[in-house]
Amino acid sequence: MTSSSQTSRNSLLSGRCYGRILEVICGNEKPLKPASENHKNILVLIKDQLYELNYQGDSELSTGLLISFEISEKGEVVKLKTGASSVNFEAEGDLLRWRRPAINPSRMKLLRVRQQIIYGIREWFELQEFIETETPLLVSAPNPESQLSPIKTDSGFLITSPEFQMKRLLAGGFEKIFQLVRCFRKAERGPLHNQEFTMLEWYRSNEALEVLMSDIEQMVLHLSKTITGENFAEKIPLPPWSRVTVSSLFKKHLNIILDGSESSTHLREKAQLSGHAELLVDLATQSDLTESLAYEQIFFRLWDYIEAEFANSTPLFVYEWPLPLASLARPCPQRSGFVERVELYVNGMELANGFGELTDAAEQRRRFEQDLKNRLSEGRGPVPLDEKFLKCLEQGMPESSGMAMGIDRLVMWLCGVKQIREVLCFTEDEI
């Protein structure tokens, strides 16, 4: 038995090796040695690497079999010994969950890149003199926004984001903080969603939202240069990345002019006049919905159409969102009816979401109360308001900007994969 390639032969140092046969291939087209009746090529999993080995012997070899053998100083495989254990690879199991030979890159490889990305993120924030924080995962009051579904426990709620607690740190005198944290949102499933996910969130006191947009560009550029084994630097466009307003996208793709004052009815009428009534055909007017929720539903039905238009785009910052769509963002000083919110899209996938933070306690309470009304109109149960967070705004939180980025999606983008499960150790259905 010898390895089938120079690379594999050099990788296997002399000594004893242990592995498991993933595949038995009889009669290889280009065997290293002349074929015989007992000639087989076998694909062997050794630790987390795959090797194709050439076998010239009488031992019965089958898929799933445990084997041990020795490598001579000449790189030849000798003293093959088989074990009694085998596995059915057709069945679900952990043996090949992260390293299926037919998939490249393997889930194992992606998880290694994920580790490097997380290390690089921490390195970049340390270079910028940020303080890493650890706020609670279990809180007494969640974000009340209607589109979020927090997970309730006997002791409170699992966080959908560490936002409220991190803002309290800003009010307490912290200036530059970041956090890598697990977040939880019930009923979020799909190629881009898992109900438990990793969030990167960071804040700067007394800085404009544009500065945090630049943070993303520079951090990703740092990652592209520090991650080993991949040509990320060739995949990532150099900053500055494109920036565009929500209004300009509506004008370009739908021929709809947003002025920030339209009601849900007016937005529906604008869609009809621009020839896009079919996008709303199954979205009936519902008298039991609040005005802001009705607006939100119509807006995002139109937004889904726009997203599809730039699905394969390079990184794109979309800023200045209508007020009903960002209850935690401060108003734009130059445009009435719009707020300082930005979303970063890569290949049509939302990667990051940031705000120029609202610091007006009375206005924040009003928006929270509207969120509660929206939840009730959707048939969702009420949630308590975070009075400690509102109190912190009353006492005075500095003008700040914050950004949240999905780490799982960041790994997906940098590695070029379409399924979030490929960059997670375990998904919800695997537990």
Which of helix, strand or coil describes residue 262? coil
Q: Assign residue 204 the CATH number of its domain.
A: 3.30.930.10
Q: In 270-377, at which residue ranges do the beta strands (DSSP E only) sit? A: 316-322, 338-346, 349-356
| 74/139 same-domain check | no
**pTM score, whole prediction:** 0.84
Domain holding 362, by residue range, is 107-241+314-430
Residue 67 inside a domain? The answer is yes
Residue ending a domain, among 82, 115, 134, is 82
| 326/215 same-domain check | yes
| 69/118 same-domain check | no
Which of helix, strand or coil describes residue 33? coil
Question: Is pLDDT of 22 > 90?
Answer: no
Question: Is pLDDT of 339 > 60?
Answer: yes
pLDDT given for residue 92 in this prediction: 56
> How confident is residue 46, by pLDDT bands cut at 50, 70 and 90?
confident
pLDDT tens string 153-175: 999 999 999 999 999 999 999 99
Tell me, what DSSP letter sits at residue 68? Answer: E
| 78/143 same-domain check | no
Question: Is pLDDT of 7 > 80?
Answer: no
95 in Cβ contact with 21 (< 8 Å):
no
pLDDT given for residue 380 in this prediction: 86
Mean pLDDT over 14-27 rounds to 73
Question: Is pLDDT of 186 > 50?
Answer: yes
Mean pLDDT over 18-34 rounds to 60
Question: Is pLDDT of 210 > 90?
Answer: yes
Residue 55 inside a domain? The answer is yes
Residue of higher predicted confidence among 16 and 317: 317
pLDDT given for residue 6 in this prediction: 33
| Sign of CA pseudo-dihedral 73, 74, 79, 83 | positive
Share of the chain above pLDDT 70, in %: 86
Whole-angstrom distance, CA of residue 48 vs CA of residue 94: 13
Residue of higher predicted confidence among 66 and 86: 66
Residue 263 inside a domain? The answer is no
Residue of higher predicted confidence among 42 and 395: 395
| 112/62 same-domain check | no
pLDDT given for residue 37 in this prediction: 53
| 24/128 same-domain check | no
In this structure, what are the phi and psi dihedrals at residue 429, rounded to the nearest 5 degrees?
-75, -10
**Range with the poorest average pLDDT among 144-148, 199-203, 269-273, 351-355:** 144-148
Residue 323 inside a domain? The answer is yes
Mean pLDDT over 360-380 rounds to 94
Residue 247 inside a domain? The answer is no
Question: Tokens in use for 245?
Answer: 């307003």
| 75/148 same-domain check | no
| 210/342 same-domain check | yes
pLDDT given for residue 1 in this prediction: 42
Q: How many domains does the chain have?
A: 2
| 222/318 same-domain check | yes
Residue 295 inside a domain? The answer is no
pLDDT given for residue 76 in this prediction: 65
Whole-angstrom distance, CA of residue 160 vs CA of residue 145: 10
Which of helix, strand or coil describes residue 343? strand
| 76/125 same-domain check | no
| 212/340 same-domain check | yes
Residue 320 inside a domain? The answer is yes
> How confident is residue 233, by pLDDT bands cut at 50, 70 and 90?
low
| 7/73 same-domain check | yes
> How confident is residue 19, by pLDDT bands cut at 50, 70 and 90?
confident
Q: Assign residue 29 the CATH number of its domain.
A: 2.40.50
Q: Which of 46-50, 221-225, 322-326 has the highest mean pLDDT?
A: 322-326
Residue 260 inside a domain? The answer is no
Which of helix, strand or coil describes residue 195? coil
